[in-house]
Amino acid sequence: MEDAEIVLMFSLLMIPTAIWLQLWVKARREKRKNEAGEEEFPNTGMALFSILLEGTAIVGGLIMIIMGLSGVVKYILKFYAA
């Protein structure tokens, strides 16, 4: 297998992983909502930990989507240019 196919394979695997990560954050936020629709935390430490964890997951997921799509586009351009 050539390098281009390996990059394409990892790019295609990255996109569903990033989508799953975004859905995980959404489900995590939904579990914390009260009857009024506001997020509740037991204490400040838990809120800070949640903000850091979910923020990192969101930013990481978006980076993974960008890298995955760029890998697919590079492969398509390389494939059709040759």
Q: What is the pLDDT of residues 40-82, one digit of tens each?
A: 888 999 999 999 999 999 999 999 999 999 999 999 998 888 6
Stretch 2-10: mean pLDDT: 86
Domain residue limits, the chain: 3-81
Stretch 7-29: mean pLDDT: 93
18-48 in b/e form (b: 16+ CB < 10 A) is beebeeebeeeeeeeeeeeeeeeeeeeeeee
